[in-house]
Amino acid sequence: MTATDPGPFKLRRNTRDLPKAVETLAKALPARDLKTVLADANRTAVRKGGTSAFGAMTPKPADWYCFEEGDDQTTDWYPQGVAVSAEAGRPDLRTFAVSWYWKPEGKATERGVRISFLSTDTRRYRHVLLVEPKPDGSYAAVNIHAGGVAWYGDLLYVADTSRGFRVFDLRRIFEVKGDDDKIGKQGGRYHAFGYRYVMPQVDAWSATGSARFSFAAVDRSTTPHTLITGEYVDPAEDPGVAGRVARWPLAADGTPVADADGTAAAADAFTLAGAKIQGALSHKGAWYLSQAASSTVNGSLLVVPDGRTAQVRRFPVGPEDLTCWGEKNQLWCVTEFKGRRALFTVPL
């Protein structure tokens, strides 16, 4: 990895009327905090369950969680991003957030993105549907790839590939009791495709440069803490193009440090040490990169010590976004393919 121009990595705050729309929802729907949602979790993860996600990886990960069979086998939803409460600075939660995007076979109504909140204390998890609030008091599905998530304090940053970030607030989760086939306010009632909880978008940071936002993480080992973003590049689609990562200083409230007109500039940027990178994390001067291969071939973990050559380690099949549980010296990742889905860790 070599330093490169951070100029293309710029974001401008684009809040619009989102707070007003969320306040309208707050008057109509009961608010629930994350601990309440976790106490109401309706699915159970299996710790160190049987899975083919690891393929030929030797040794296997130090620990892992498998999703319920319905989530492992579905061809409608695909896990992408992962963040842990330790990344957020929330030791009281011991919880993972995993983003899934809707990619059904055949034609179907867009259902957007959901977040699985999984408690390591109970091994229970629940899906929460992300929604985009509307000024009229309704909301719509969030139709993005959600390739990465970063968690800081109460804020959840969801990567929106060409647009930047959509921001969600864990203090703004609402309970909905609607029909399975409807979304938003219809017939005087609120619906969320059968999901019991929705989390509306509260803010946005829009890209003003040429950078793409494929994955995300937080580095709490820097001063100040930094938000990491990066670009997935497939040489077959973009020959000769190298992916990049960048780091953005965070203010105490968890927002990128911005100038008077609301523009945030990355502090530094680097070219990636390989192609088809699905997740990147920096921690104590080293970079960690998850590299994809195919739906049946093991991926790789590239470890790049500060200023040195990348080390290549065997990784599971279909590795995606990365997050760091620094106090436990753990690197966590999630795998995406049907029948091979697991949330797993290896030592940093």
Structural domain harbouring 34: 3-347
pLDDT in tens, 91-134: 999 999 999 999 998 889 999 999 999 999 999 999 999 999 99
pLDDT for the residue 308 = 75
C-beta of residue 179 within 8 angstroms of C-beta of residue 109? no
pLDDT for the residue 154 = 98
Distance CA 215, CA 228 (A): 8
- When divided into structural domains, the chain yields a total of 1
Mean pLDDT, the chain, integer: 96
pLDDT at 73 over 70: yes
Percent of the chain with pLDDT over 70: 100
pLDDT category, 218, cuts 50, 70, 90?
very high
What CATH number corresponds to the domain at position 127? 2.120.10
Distance CA 91, CA 335 (A): 25
Which of 105, 111, 199, 124 minimizes the C-alpha distance to 157? 199
Residue owning tokens 């608010």: 31
Give residues with Cβ within 8 angstroms of 36, minimum separation 6: none
C-beta of residue 165 within 8 angstroms of C-beta of residue 204? yes
pLDDT in tens, 271-322: 999 999 999 999 999 999 999 999 999 999 999 998 678 999 999 999 999 9
Phi then psi for 126, rounded to 5 degrees?
A: -145, 145
- The pair of three-digit structure tokens given for residue 46, joined into one six-digit string: 């299996």
C-beta of residue 250 within 8 angstroms of C-beta of residue 227? yes
Distance CA 31, CA 129 (A): 14
Distance CA 49, CA 66 (A): 6
